[in-house]
Amino acid sequence: MALLDSEVWAKKFFSDGWRDCDSEQPVVEPATGDRLGAVGLASAGDVARAAARAAEAQRAWAATAPQERAAVLRRAGELFSAHAGEIEDWLVREAGSVRAKASFEVRLAVGECFECAGLPTHPQGEVLTSEEARWSLARRRPAGVVSVIAPFNFPLLLGLRSVAPALALGNAVLLKPDPRTAVSGGVVIARIFEEAGLPAGVLHMLPGDGSVGQAVVEAPEVRVISFTGSTPVGRAIGERAGRLLKRAHLELGGNNALVVLPGADVAKAASAGAFGSYLHQGQICMTTGRHLVHESLLARYTEALAAKAAALPVGDPAREDVALGPIIDRRQLERVHGIVTRSVAAGATVAAGGEIVGAGYRATVLSGVSTDMPAWREEIFGPVAPVIGFSTLEEAARIVNDCEYGLSVGILGDVGTAMKLADRIDSGKIHINEQTVGDEPNAPFGGVKASGTGSRFGGAAANVEAFTETQWVTVRPDIADYPF
């Protein structure tokens, strides 16, 4: 039987096994509108039962030998590799990924599991000095039950990067995938860990609407919420979590800048800029959403970027060799086009693209842009590259920082000059001589300002901080003498 055989998961959710449910949602291919199957939808009551079961199962899972937990993570990584083709097919058809992006996402999932397999045996505490005649220790303990709410754009990776470390560190997990990608972002993860030997009750996969999202946040057993998605939704989750005194790790939006310095290789810079803006149709929080080019290179860069954009075919990635697949749904497609048309009405010029093509959008370059236009101020989440010029480093730093977001920045050109600029920029990540999109399982990932709460995913230190609690422990050789 294939890993994702629909007989296993169709019209079901995962909670102590695959469960029948009262309602379902079609799985739709965004490129064609075709129905690919149906997933079961959980209810708020299902979440309550899952949270209680997760809290029970977590205690035994946390007590499992670290080597056994590590082995489950390693087997999960091996299973992702063994079933890569099948998983890629779902990412192409359900998420609208081009094949190269789908392959890249699965490789990152493999790396995430192998990286997290080291967490159970990673040092999880420190020895403290004490004024008393005793040992003083600070140790990290599993948080308990963790809720993970994942988005549609990199549905497998952006769910797994919280699920895997949370499980590795001894927690139980409630996973709510985006309903638009419930198979590639939910069913895949549940099936992988089921086959990897994760004990029953430790992982629950609960697709659903906003009421399910609210339930996985508010369930009393949940101590940590890991959310990746839009800033407005993240604010609402943060407010709920704060009221309930729960930790919320919020990885939110971005409007990321690529700065092209004087003297940069224009052809290479345009290639990097195109990749940053058009990978996965620009539906990435790290997408290059703003291109700042030194005035000496502005005309040449804009022309080169427009030529790159015009050469990128748009279509159905499951049936055609294309560079850009569909936008996730019609509402988002019309939003992207609306931002472009409003910016053109405000004075911008379409140097390439600017058109809806079936379920997709042509790679677009906008010139003549000012910093008050919608295409510059808003996170577009589509394949649109607005370009403006700058004259000094001071001006470039001011423009980059004049943004509500602070996730990722790329700087192309002389390294010394780039380093001076980097020191003036507020951003969770800065890449010199690379574009803005980058992620590795062992690297801390996160943003500042409206891009998130400053929490990080990736790497042992960040993951231990995110998914454990600190406990102070002291030990004396004898009972102390007290004055009472």
* Annotated catalytic residue, options 21, 116, 285, 403: 285
Nearest-angstrom CA–CA distance, 196 and 315? 36
Give the total residue count for the chain.
484
- The edge-to-edge listing of strands for the beta sheet with 135-142 is 125-128, 135-142, 468-475
What residues contact residue 242 under an 8 Å CB cut-off, 6+ apart?
A: 248
Residue with tokens 């800033």: 231
Position 329: which residue type?
D
Half-sphere exposure of 317 (CA within 13 A, CB side): 29
285 is catalytic: yes
251 is catalytic: yes
Nearest-angstrom CA–CA distance, 34 and 74? 36
Residue spans of alpha helices (H) in 96-203: 99-116, 155-168, 188-196
What residues contact residue 377 under an 8 Å CB cut-off, 6+ apart?
A: 255, 371, 403
Radius of gyration for the chain, computed over Cα atoms and rounded to the nearest angstrom: 24
* Annotated catalytic residue, options 105, 112, 221, 251: 251
SS3 364: strand
**CB-CB contact of 91 with 97 (8 Å):** yes
Nearest-angstrom CA–CA distance, 287 and 285? 6
From 334, 335, 336, 316, select the one nearest 326 (Cα to Cα): 316
- Kindly list the catalytic residues: 251, 285
